[in-house]
Structure 1
């Protein structure tokens, strides 16, 4: 007899139809998509305010924000392993209070331990930028920025863990609310501290860094209040006995989280590497690449949010040891993610100049080359939107099965051997320049999408649904 049937009183209820699964997934994914879009706005606030300080400060802020965001994103990827673990515990036992609390607690421990080397790296930001050949004055100012913003690492990653827990426990709406709060605080703090408004000193670039610390600290404090006082969440007493160690759970989070972290870094670094290739072609190509990439990144937040929700839904089905639920949850998530990308791809294909006009004046003669190049790159982006959405959601459903190591290998090979290799070959070997670089990106995403989709389709034969013994 199937294990999920043998202990129905303990397991979470499985949806009985595709419509019920779609409704459950949408309730999770909607707020997470909104929160992801707001998070992009939070990241853009620093650069928008600092741009008025001058070119050198803007360059320093751009480099500093890039380093900070890359390392913060890596830490959040590492600790996001708590999501499939918490979901599996809820799927296995609907009221798994103790098990959920242990996973949450150890995710915070992992976050604290991993934050130490990241803080040390940021503390030596100026030296690292000089070694990378950056302008000495830009490196100096970026180093000063990083010496302040490094204090935001701990509250930022702690807020990420708490957001993951709240979503996995069925309260994803708080992610949207708290991120909206952080956006408002970031705007107000930058306005006060960068330019010296409302009686505050004008701190310039350092004020922007301090504003990031303030906004992420407010975000962390807001989540603490939510986890302690929300009616559904407080019953888990997530901060109870926070000093207790659970080393098996700690290393389980590390085992699952390190591949997730590296997968995210591989993908982010691929687009960073593409920007470097664009720099070898020309300045206009770099500007057009930045515009097109930002538009594609905004669209990507939809399947990324679906993928985060899919990890939880598939994780619950995995914990319940219900293969039919796993299949349904994965199919619904993939259909929803790809369906949204059909819409965004169509919009980008039909009206690329409209999207570019949000960044530059498309009718200005001085912008003619940049606009033309951005439109070309968006044509390629429209084609790879589908595979980009598919690979994001496929990775999410596999994470729900606690399968992260092989997807990491697929990402490394697909993005960097197939993708980056094709970008170099097509961009420089075939002389396609920027279009060739973007086509290479599409090749990498296609390879990863196909391989992850194959792995999901063959999950039974690969033993990914050989369920572990329930923990008691």
Structure 2
């Protein structure tokens, strides 16, 4: 039987040059896939914005709520990549172990996908208890009732994304997300405005377009795996009803803290938007522009962090402590090289970065642009800490160490960062910039804590000897 040779995915690299090359081969496609996924979200906004401000506001609330749940569950089920990487590092192809872990990740996707759907179906209640305006809450809850059906296919597709990436095929992720751009565009065009005889569904049409895109993404991964001779040999779709409780518990043990960590970070930035809204509409608009630019830049270190999980996981399974350290540091160095570019752009050419959204030279945009530029100056500073924490979080996940990093995130983001953001935003003249300083402080504290844990990984017995 032909299976993937570990050497073909760079597991046995024994030099810095080889490790850098292997990391970039993984990180590049994954980061690009993240950027393309954001493009799909931007496309949805483009269509919905044409319906009016109420529909746009309602969809923004719905996406913030659904997106936070979805990304946290993707972090949980996506932890299968660490299990797969460890199995390959320990046993070579590890066909049975990979198949069992992937199967249990499917189970978890369905189980937690149903839970996510239930939360979305309770969207009207959520909007009511959070005090949203009825005219905005109504379209938001209607959007959630439909987008809920995308949960399970999106989570299953995420498992397959991690499967192909851990087995050295990350380019599938890039190609599939890229191929979904026209699917999403056509779905929105036909269903939002009722083109070519299709029903004109408005905001609900945009939600159905997202569901269709999610199902199409899952189908594309299945076809890609069946088309690849080596991936097909793992037979991950066989005996899906058979339980493997050891793998089930392992993914839960690693993944639950990851999900909580993602909720903590996403919740911090969502809460910052509400704080900005309490300062003023102009500050909130400037914050939205700046955070979009920062989010785009974050996709690169996020992709490198995913690659670090896999690379460190290979060496962790092989019990090669020297290679574990080399993989982690190679990922950090790659991230810092990139952040030097993005941080410099935010600091020295912020107006240029704003031009896709607004004309910063227009008189009516000067106040908005000035605030956004001031926020980007802080963002340039926290690019360093954000990159380090994202990559080291991924490296520690490769060691299947997620509980303590989760604690760092909760204390750093909320106990320190959010508290400082409230104080600086409302008790000092810093106002909106003070909120951003609070965010930067939280990220910096978490990155320092993670760095200390990574440096002490052997003393803390995080590596098998």
1:90 match: 88
For each residue in 1:267-316, what CA deviation from the matched residue of structure 2 results, as whole angstroms up to 9, or x when unmatched?
11111111111111111000000000000000000000000001000000
For 1:182 and 1:27, locate their aligned partners in 2 and report how far apart those are by CA, in whole Å.
Answer: 22
Describe the SS at the equivalent of 1:236. coil
Q: Structure 1 residues 420, 434: CA separation in 2 closer, same or farther (over 3 Å shift)?
A: same
Give 2:147's match in structure 1, choosing from 136, 141, 149. 149
Give 2:363's match in structure 1, choosing from 365, 369, 394. 365
For 1:96 and 1:87, locate their aligned partners in 2 and report how far apart those are by CA, in whole Å.
Answer: 10
**Alpha-carbon contact 1:46-1:61 (below 8 Å) kept:** no
1:296 match: 294
For each residue in 1:50-77, what CA deviation from the matched residue of structure 2 results, as whole angstroms up to 9, or x when unmatched?
1011111111111112222111111101
1:191 match: 189
1:100 match: 98
Matches within 5 A, 1:179-218: 179-218=177-216
1:28 match: 26
**Alpha-carbon contact 1:384-1:445 (below 8 Å) kept:** yes
> How far did 1:207 drift?
0.5
For 2:293 and 2:378, locate their aligned partners in 1 and report how far apart those are by CA, in whole Å.
Answer: 12
**Alpha-carbon contact 1:333-1:393 (below 8 Å) kept:** yes
Describe the SS at the equivalent of 2:209. helix
Matches within 5 A, 1:321-336: 321-336=319-334
1:383 match: 381
> How far did 1:251 drift?
1.3
1:309 match: 307
1:446 aligns with 2:439: no
1:170 aligns with 2:187: no
For 2:125 and 2:70, locate their aligned partners in 1 and report how far apart those are by CA, in whole Å.
Answer: 19
**Count of aligned residue pairs for this structure pair:** 459
For 1:216 and 1:416, locate their aligned partners in 2 and report how far apart those are by CA, in whole Å.
Answer: 32
Describe the SS at the equivalent of 1:233. helix
**Alpha-carbon contact 1:123-1:146 (below 8 Å) kept:** yes
**Alpha-carbon contact 1:401-1:464 (below 8 Å) kept:** yes
Q: Which runs of 5+ in 1 are unaligned?
A: 1-7, 468-472
RMSD: 1.4
Q: Which runs of 5+ in 2 are unaligned?
A: 1-5
Describe the SS at the equivalent of 1:22. helix
For each residue in 1:119-178, what CA deviation from the matched residue of structure 2 results, as whole angstroms up to 9, or x when unmatched?
111011112101111111221111111111111111111100100001001100000011
**Alpha-carbon contact 1:12-1:94 (below 8 Å) kept:** no
Describe the SS at the equivalent of 1:243. coil
For 1:19 and 1:464, locate their aligned partners in 2 and report how far apart those are by CA, in whole Å.
Answer: 25
> What TM-score results when the alignment is normalised by the length of structure 1?
0.95
Structure 1 runs (4+) greater than 4 angstroms displaced: none
1:404 aligns with 2:379: no
2:3 match: none
1:132 match: 130
Describe the SS at the equivalent of 1:198. helix
1:437 aligns with 2:435: yes
> How far did 1:13 drift?
5.0
2:43 match: 45
For 1:210 and 1:434, locate their aligned partners in 2 and report how far apart those are by CA, in whole Å.
Answer: 36
Matches within 5 A, 1:70-81: 70-81=68-79
For 1:265 and 1:44, locate their aligned partners in 2 and report how far apart those are by CA, in whole Å.
Answer: 22
For 1:82 and 1:266, locate their aligned partners in 2 and report how far apart those are by CA, in whole Å.
Answer: 21
For each residue in 1:375-419, what CA deviation from the matched residue of structure 2 results, as whole angstroms up to 9, or x when unmatched?
000001001111110010010100000000000000000101111
For each residue in 1:433-456, what CA deviation from the matched residue of structure 2 results, as whole angstroms up to 9, or x when unmatched?
011110111100110000001100
2:226 match: 228
Q: Structure 1 residues 48, 385: CA separation in 2 closer, same or farther (over 3 Å shift)?
A: same
Describe the SS at the equivalent of 2:214. helix
